[in-house]
A and B are shown apart, each in its own frame.
Chain A
Amino acid sequence: MRVGVITFPGTLDDRDAARAVNAGGAEAVALWHADADLKNVDAVILPGGFSYGDYLRCGAISRFAPVMKLVIEAAGKGMPVLGICNGFQVLCESHLLPGALTRNSDLHFLCRDQEIEITNTKTVWTSSYSEGQKIVIPLKNGEGSFQCDDDTLAQLEGEGRVIARYVGQNPNGSRNLIAGISNARGNVVGLMPHPEHAIDTLTGPSAQGLGFFTSILNAMVK
């Protein structure tokens, strides 16, 4: 089971994502933004960071990276794709996911341990969790406020495509406390908080983020 982890220029959490993939039992494979092939990976993670310095808009330049053409193609055929933080922003810019991530409502970068509730366990990235399970993982970004139009929101809610919600006070102004969503097929997931920084209690607030990485392994093994 090979999970590709893409490094764009300015990506920061690639090594963390690779560590989490390995901790979850799969094999992490480094992918470079200029790569012209996906090296036979079974799934892809777009990690956090400031790809291309977040110039123009977060993720707006990365979507044109050569490797993204392949990711978009593969996602269309059902390959599991997880975008974390900046990766989520890239997925929105690539139109693999609807909506956009805008400046946090208080206009500050925010790094904190955030409680979220897993609200859809049917995706390949969340199947290890139980419906309604609450976990604490780091949230760290400046542009994490999920926004979309009313129709899109109704569709996301109606189809159960909100995969995680913030618990308690809204940390960044996201609509309906949305922390993560999936595409209609459920193979593409975007998540603002960072499960890869919560794989052991030594370095993270919990080990509860590991579920995203064991989910994908389980899904592929089945």
Chain B
Amino acid sequence: MSLDTVAIAQSTPENIQPFAQLGLKPDEYARIKEILGRRPTSSELAMYSVMWSEHCSYKSSKVHLKQFGDKAPKSDALLVGIGENAGVVDVGQGYAVTFKIESHNHPSFVEPYQGAATGVGGIVRDILTMGARPIAVMDPLRFGPADAPDTRRVLPGIVAGVGGYGNCLGLPNIGGEVIFDETYAGNPLVNALCVGVMKHSDIKLAKAAGAGNLVVLYGAKTGGDGIGGVSVLASETFGAGGSTKRPSVQVGDPFVEKILIECSLEIFAEDLVVGIQDLGGAGLSCATSELASGGSGGMKVALDRVPLRDPSLSPEEILMSESQERMCAIVAPEKLARFLEICAKWDVTVTAIGEVTDGDRLVITWNDEIIVNVPPRTVAHDGPVYNRPIKQPAYIDDVNSQRVNVPIPNSAAEIKATVLQLAATPNLADKSWVTSQYDKYVQGNTIQSQPDDSGMIRIDEQTHLGVAISTDANANWSYLNPYQGAKLALAEAARNIATAGARPLAVTNCLNFGSPEDPGVMWQFSESVRGLADGCLEMGLPVTGGNVSFYNQTGAVAILPTPVIGVLGVIDDVRTRTPMSFDSAGLELYLLGDTYEDLAGSEWAFMHGQRVGQSPTADLAREMRLIEVLLAGREEKIFSAAHDLSQGGLSAGLTEMVLRHSIGATITLDNVGISLLSETPGRVIVAIVTSKAEALKTLANKYQITLSHLGTTGGDALRINDAVIPLDELRTAHTSTFPKLFG
């Protein structure tokens, strides 16, 4: 295998290079040649190809995502915004919290366990890279039909992967979603969120500053896993060696990552790094070019010093490898000795592979021969930007013009049957089969986790300060109206944390869509981004970062537009949160918010195979007033419990509340069918002791939120008008579905 150096590239401009097999378009290849003033070396081509990929460069989404900056609300809470590894938010008392959500969809379909596991590993490293101790994870998941044979392969593997990695890292899993729809059959969605905490002064950034400072690679050795197109590169152009096909799904080792976390936190605590970057997608190509771009631009790396698991790897493969559990730090020479000592304590492999230089070129050598000499910004940030064609798909007018036509229960028998059916349907059924495979207790700070409305973690044991997070998406609404769908998901996530009494502070998102080359998908995407940006501006919540996952489609069928929105909030005293359910009889139940005939996009419509009608319109001003009611109600100690209504409406909400502590309720409803099934957004059930009724009315009046009495708690059944649903029967319906499906 001959080495392609800059000198050779200069002298052999005519060499044909496999840019197309690496995913680069002819004009992109031409642009690289223009930037360099010559053809790229094979190593440079490798770097540009991975860094200019959709995944790394956001080339189809960039023009839209910039709205998050343009429409950013004024926020005092934002300490680090979009562009770094993760956003950082001020939560008071000197604490900063960083959180982000990312997708690992495609690998998880190919190899569910490792795909999901490394999805968790990647997002945890992003959080660690900011200087924070990771404190919890969440995982919104979406699968094909629950009873499809392939779901039985994909779901258990993904759940075991999320658990296997997160449990071994010692990170409590505090929530997520498990949703089924046939469009996800060939494209399961594995989104992973991580949250971390640090003191303000400990924030770290990805920048390589200070000529003479060292570039230090530490963590796992580099192997041949996670290399995508490079086998093409190696075999077609450089190919005498007959390189083997290597897996393009990364293989994770959570034990190594756990060690890496503890080792890194010890290094951070002694202030031994100038800048830091984890190695995730695009591996060393990404880390070196982003670190150099974050500084003045100059960096020299001796690639042959990278410790290898497989000594036969070529320089191109080393640059593209996505081997997990690796970090790259910029360290002042005088601090190297201590850095090495801490790595030795944790048995972590560490190697100085280069140094920061004056000038603005990233130069990479292989046995002293120059194989890369590029302006790093052109690799990391100046990738192509596409303004893809956008066209509203034909289905929109069609589905929007139809009305949902589903049976509406009325008699006692119909009401009972409907409540039981909703309790048992896979999207609403009890998810303990999944969540019992996740450690929710480790670290000893978990205040709320599944099935609560949001996850809540205590961050200070003395002051009781905590954060709450929720992730939400309603892809059915987004399908009917992506602009409203994104706003509604934002509102729901914010409401979910406010229900417990936490004030929403900031937003992250994971935008899962089909192919950007389909103008219809691009329309769904652009409308979703516009909706989310408008919504965040109106609610005063800054977007701190996120992730776009395109190409989630099988043939011509794209997944439902699935913008997963995560909202993080702060609560000053976790001891006084409002719990999700009541644990005593004799409480009064009220509904905050109006109920209309909102069946379009509802779970009941989905169960009847109907994805038609018009989604609700988000009324964010009202949502914000509702949030104020929820926060004030917690502060004034009015609520005994509060539970958000979303999928499955009042029926699902009541089911979850009565089963939580096995205390029934007696409910009286007008227009009982619609009342139970409608999914009008902006509604919360609250439980209060009778003496708080006046205070609740005053509060609802003050914020102009409709208040209606639902009934009282107690008994061993859920009674709705004439229908009596014994709790045992309801519990059996709710909890049998997953064990029946997945063993």
- Identify the A interface with B (CB < 8 A): 9-10, 12-13, 15-16, 19, 49-50, 52-55, 106, 108-112, 138, 140, 142, 194, 196-197, 202-204
Contacts and interface: CB of A to CB of B under 8 A. Distances in A.
Nearest to A20: B444
Contact of B575 (A10, A52, A110, A202): A202
Given A53-B254, A197-B444, A204-B441, A111 B436 contact: yes
A109 B164 contact: yes
Interface of B: 160, 163-164, 167-170, 253-256, 258-259, 346-347, 432, 435-447, 458, 461, 574-575, 743
6 contacts: A19-B461, A106-B743, A110-B436, A140-B167, A140-B442, A203-B446
A29 B65 CA distance: 50
A13 B255 contact: no
Contacts of B436: 108, 110-112
A10 B442 contact: no
A203 B256 CA distance: 28
A202 B447 contact: yes
B439 A16 contact: no
B452 to A, nearest CB: 14
Contacts of B574: 202
B346 A111 contact: no
Contacts of A196: 444
B265 to A, nearest CB: 12
A53 B253 contact: yes
Nearest to A113: B441
A169 to B, nearest CB: 13
A203 B442 CA distance: 10
Given A9-B347, A15-B444, A202-B575, A53 B439 contact: no
A94 to B, nearest CB: 20
A10 B440 contact: no
A53 B260 CA distance: 13
Contacts of B443: 15-16
Nearest to A14: B170
A10 B437 contact: no
A53 B441 contact: no
B431 to A, nearest CB: 13
Contacts of B441: 111, 138, 140, 194, 197, 203-204
Given A50-B258, A204-B441, A109 B446 contact: no
A9 B170 CA distance: 12
Contacts of B446: 203
A82 to B, nearest CB: 17
Contacts of A49: 170
Contacts of B160: 108-109
Contact of B170 (A12, A54, A142): A12
Contacts of B444: 15-16, 19, 196-197, 203-204
B259 A111 contact: no
B255 A53 contact: yes
A111 B255 contact: no
Which 8 A-B residue pairs are closest in the complex by CB-CB distance? A53-B255, A12-B170, A16-B444, A197-B441, A50-B168, A138-B441, A109-B437, A140-B439
Contacts of B258: 9-10, 12, 50, 53
A142 B441 CA distance: 15
